[in-house]
Amino acid sequence: MHSTGTREDVPELPQLTAGVTLVEVDEQAIAPIQALVLDHLLLTEATPTARWIDVFDHIQTRSLSKLAPSRPILDRIQVARAFTPFQHFALVEDLAAEIASGGETPLVVAPALDGLYREPDGNLSSQQASTLLVRAVAKLAGIARRHDVPVVLTRTRDDEFSAPIARAANSVIEVTDTRYGPRFASDEFETLVYPVGNGMIQTTLAFWQRVLEARQPIHAIDSSGHEPTMEVAHGTN
Amino acid sequence: MPYKIDYLDGEVLEWSLTKEGVTCEHITDYTPSLYISAPSHDDLVDVRGFVTRLTEVVQTELEEWRTGWRHTPETVLRIDVDDIADVTSVASDLRGWDVPGTYKCYNVDFSREFRYCLETDTDPTPARTPSTLRIDASESELARGDGIRSLTVGDDSIEGSPAAVAETVASRVATVDPDVLVLSASSIVPKLFEAAPCNCNEYRLGRRPGYQRLAGQSTYESYGNVGHSPARYNLPGRAIVDESNTFLWHEANLSGLLDMVTRSRKPLQEAAWASIGNLLTAIQICEARQQDVLTPWNSWRHEQFKSANQLHEADRGGFIFSPDVGLHEDVHELDFSSLYPNIIVTRNLSPETVRCECHAEREDVPGLGYAVCEDPGYLPDVLRPLIEDRDAIKAEIRETDAPERRHELEGKSEAIKWILVSCFGYQGFSNAKFGRIECHEAINAYAREILLDAKAILESNGWRVVHGIVDSIWVTPMEGETQTPLPNIASDISERVGIRFEYEGEFDWVAFVPLRTEESGALTKYFGARADATDGESRYKFRGIEVRQRSTPPFVAETQKELVETLDHHRTPEAVCDVLQRRLTELRRSAVDPQELVVDNRVSKRRDAYSRATRNAAALERAAADGIEKYPGESLAYVVTDDEKRSRERVTLAHETPKTYDAAFYADLLVRAAESVVSPLGWRESDIREYLSEQTDTSLVRFC
């Protein structure tokens, strides 16, 4: 895990690497995840598309489209929504099969992975629901391991039910709000994204819009085919 | 043809109505079936070995069925179980038999009577109109711990000790021998059995002694609304209609209910308690069975991936123009007839046709680019007869002079209308058996395009669109333009779209109400005066404003109607406020009957879940002190007696016959209702209050 940034005034974001990354966010905020995904896509080749397995409308296309610097980037995020644990499981399974048969993807995102399995319907026992979740996690971890793909997960609660998600994670990024801006922290990395002193709340869309706008120089360099000028390996710590 | 099916002592009883009365046939060899599919034939053979060892299972058979609308027939295992209660437990066992999703179960969660009719190909339409008898016990009687002491059976009041009441009811029911018992609440059944002087096993309200409890009470959430479903009971040989737990009985009538019995194959008792979604599912299950398609237990089928841009487009929802806030003169309303069902039928939209695999390259759906299959879908097949039958019924209503026939037809028309209204929302309902979100999105996308096209055509013919929502458009003549007559435009649009666009009517004026805190219009709040109201038809049309809200007390609702009439005659906010002033004075002089001030609210959460001292919480507490426990979804009627208080003294329940009320609280409600009426003219609450205080001052001056 490392971060990318070029100059003092360009905010840093952790770069997503192959493997399972569990992002622990305060209050289920989705904007930081959306920003990470968009940033990752802006830094990678223009083809193939990221896959987003959605529940509870975490995708929030309205805010995602405001956050995105341009509409075409949204064509590079492919979403499918699940409304039952069965649909969620089937989606994960089908995606794993598709990638195994040669489908390329730069990124898989599954927010609130435990969410639907917590409220099973159709007489699914909690034991069966838990088994289903464990198998879904294993499938996603398999995608990350076999195909060198970053897989980003979040969970709705930190408890025994969601523990299999944490166990499968190769790295954990904690996103916390501080007075100086959101802080991304993992074992190897810690950074303050963008210290804004004007009281702007970091979970707001406007904040993340500014972050992505301010990162445009690196995105621009990257999409023009050049390497980013510098990789900051240790953030601000 | 049986109209009631009972599962009793290991047998099925088929009750059929005849001219003379009723017959009962004992069926001893019926065994309910569920089905299971597996990835391979070997897996099926494996699971068969396990299944046959289960004590509940009487027989298994390998059969050919389709596991989805577009699937070719495949070998599945039919499992016959001994008892109706074993279906779910066996299915639950099998689902956990291997990796989840390996063994999929079908035809599992069907209601009891419906399953029997489906599996034995039985039409549960009664051979004659069933006779009914109504039993009504008040809430407070049902809340008594020691049994019911007073109720009415038909037109007769019965009072006495609980045992005496139970005995009298049983003898009345035996004498009348109704086919259907209409109960104000189904809990009357266990209450009477408990109080019966004879042994519970001998006491009878049905055509055999005893009763069964079919389901416990539960609270559920549907489309964001919390509902309460009371426990359900069964009496052998009679159907129960529980008035506190029936949709069709209230929204349609017995004829409408019977029409749905025929269409859904749910016998009368089950059709009465079914929700509309439930009936629509039953109709689809019947269609599926005809086409050898099994009904999945759990919805494993997920939506296909689409780009975030496509999803953003698809998520825009139904069609809405922002209303042009204000009072508009000379307004005409035009509606598309059953727009959504007709879109489904004319555009061949169905869960299995939208984004079909066989035509992946096509881009049919406007804005979304989804393919729609050329092969006919099943949903249009299900809806087409409903649309056609309703059109025919409406035509007959226009023709008929016989009031009885009219009543019958109107019940049928209402029942079908509700199915048609819900078929679209059902597609987007996540847990619907045969629903599919992409189908829902496609319907919306076509609806948007159709309405936008209609708007453009109207505008190019000299009409200005002042509002449009879902399937209706309101227009007024454009100044300085010549107008093509609306009937001509309507038929032109109908032809182009392939769906009837009808001229609904003419209004002298329509007022679109702004949101309370903003300048923009509330989408569904308007009122207007019809120019073409016929005798017996109300001149005024109200939507979304207080008079249409169920919680609004009658006095406030009546006053608001009066204010609208005043606006109609004078067209000034001052005239409206003068009438408001008079009603406020009445209110403050305590001259209003408290029963006219009853607030009828729906309970949204359980008593112990209220963290804040709201009026509903106070009323719930008060009801509980009276022994009446209310559940989310149930209604709660009370008068606010002292809004300053936080305790249960804040309200008095309607059945406690309140003598006083909190005039200041109701004055606020009146002012709000008045604001809805004058806000289209630019007056807000502060303007009303300012005007009222000026008037008070001058009248004081006058009296000094």
Mean pLDDT value across residues B577-585: 96
Q: Does B93 touch chain A if contact means CB atoms closer than 8 Å? A: no
Question: Which chain A positions have a beta carbon within 8 Å of B431's beta carbon?
Answer: 83-84, 121
Q: What's domain A2-223's architecture?
A: 3-Layer(aba) Sandwich (3.40)
Instruction: Give backbone dihedrals phi and psi of B272, rounded to 5 degrees, phi first.
Output: -65, -40
Do residue B308 and residue A132 have CB atoms under 8 angstroms apart? no
* Distance (Å) from the alpha carbon of B89 to chain A's nearest alpha carbon: 9
Q: Searching chain B, which residue's CA lies closest to the CA of residue A131?
A: B100
**B451 and B434 within one domain:** yes
Q: Scanning every residue of chain B, which has its alpha carbon at the shortest distance from the alpha carbon of A95?
A: B305
Q: Which residues contact B680 (CB under 8 A, 6 or more apart)?
A: B325, B326, B327, B511, B512, B513, B514
Q: Say whether the ipTM exceeds 0.95.
A: no
Instruction: Identify the weakest region by mean pLDDT among A47-61, A117-131, A178-192.
Output: A178-192
Task: For chain B, say whether A223 makes contact (Cβ under 8 Å).
Answer: no
Same domain flag for B371 and B460:
yes
Q: How far is B161 from chain A (nearest CA, A)?
A: 43
Q: Are residues B241 and B351 in the same domain?
A: no
- Residue B6 covered by a domain: no
Residue B523 falls inside a structural domain? yes
Whether residue B60 is contained in a domain is answered as yes
Residue A139 in contact with partner chain B when CB distance is under 8 A: no
Full residue range of the structural domain in which residue B671 is found = 545-592+665-703
Last residue of a domain, one of B495, B530, B565: B530
Nearest chain B residue to A72 by CA: give it. B309
- Percent of chain B topping pLDDT 90: 67
- How far apart, in whole angstroms, are the C-alpha atoms of residue B161 and residue B261? 39
Residue B232, CA distances (Å) to B84, B237, B497 in order: 17, 16, 46
Q: What is the mean pLDDT of residues B312-322?
A: 71
pLDDT of B564 strictly over 80: yes
Q: Which residue among B99, B431, B437 places its CB closest to the CB of A135?
A: B99
Mean pLDDT of B381-391: 94
The chain B residue lying nearest A52, using CA atoms, is: B305
Is the domain of B494 the same as that of B581? no
Give contacts of B 30-89 with A, CB under 8 A: 88
What is the predicted pLDDT for the residue at A180? 65
pLDDT of residue A237: 33
CA B656 – CA B623 distance, rounded (Å): 10
Of B96, B299, B308, the CB nearest to A79: B308
Q: Which of residues 76-95 of A touch B (CB under 8 A)?
A: 76-84, 86-91, 93-94
In chain A, the residue whose alpha carbon lies closest to the alpha carbon of B104 is: A86
Co-location of B563 and B455 in the same domain: no
Question: Which of B232, B231, B181, B241 shows the shortest CA–CA distance to B205?
Answer: B181
Q: Are residues B236 and B329 in the same domain?
A: no
Give the tokens for residue A79: 């979403």
CB-CB neighbours of A195 under 10 Å? 13
Residues in chain B closer than 8 A to A91 (CB atoms): 302
Top-ranked range on mean pLDDT: pick from A69-78, B375-384, B689-698: B375-384
Q: Is B96 on the interface with A (CB under 8 A)?
A: yes
| pLDDT bucket at A84, cuts 50 / 70 / 90 | confident
Q: Would you say residue B54 lies in a domain? A: yes
> In whole angstroms, what is the distance from residue A70 CA to residue A47 CA?
16
Q: Look at residue B381 in the predicted model and tell me its pLDDT.
A: 93
Q: Which residues of B touch A51 (CB under 8 A)?
A: 305
d(CA B543, CA B539): 14
Q: Does residue B305 lie within any of the structural domains?
A: no
Residue of A nearest to B313 (CA): A61
With CA atoms as reference, report the closest residue to B256 among B481, B139, B410.
B410
Please check whether residues B510 and B603 belong to one and the same domain: no
**Overall domain count for chain B:** 5
Domain boundary among B255, B275, B295: B275
8 Å CB contact of B96 and A61: no
CATH number at residue B76: 3.30.70.330
Instruction: Collect all residues of chain A within an 8 Å Cβ-Cβ radius of residue B91.
Output: 123
Q: How confident is the model at residue B681, as a pLDDT?
A: 95
Nearest by CB to residue A79, choosing from B88, B300, B306, is: B306
Q: Kindly state the average pLDDT of the residues B265-275.
A: 94
- Residue from the list B92, B307, B430 with its beta carbon closest to the beta carbon of A78: B307
Q: Percentage of residues in chain B with pLDDT exceeding 70?
A: 95
DSSP character string of B359-422? TTT---STTT---B-SSPPHHHHHHHHHHHHHHHHHHHHHH---HHHHHHHHHHHHHHHHHHHH
Q: Are residues B317 and B249 in the same domain?
A: no
Q: Could you tell me if B539 and B530 are in contact, meaning their C-beta atoms sit under 8 angstroms apart?
A: yes
Q: Which of B96, B99, B312 sits opposite A65 (nearest CB)?
A: B312
**Count of CB atoms situated within 10 Å of the CB of B363:** 11
Q: What tokens does A186 get?
A: 């993992």
Q: Are B662 and B641 in contact (CB under 8 A)?
A: yes
**B221 and B182 both lie in a single domain:** yes
- Together in a domain, B142 and B259: yes
- Look at residue A230 in the predicted model and tell me its pLDDT: 36
Residue B339 sits in the same domain as residue B447: yes
Q: Which of B91, B100, B302 sits opposite A132 (nearest CB)?
A: B100
Q: Is B431 on the interface with A (CB under 8 A)?
A: yes
Query: Are both B561 and B640 inside the same structural domain?
Result: no
From the list A52, A80, A123, the residue facing B88 with the nearest CB is: A123
Q: Which residue has the higher pLDDT, A190 or A150?
A: A150
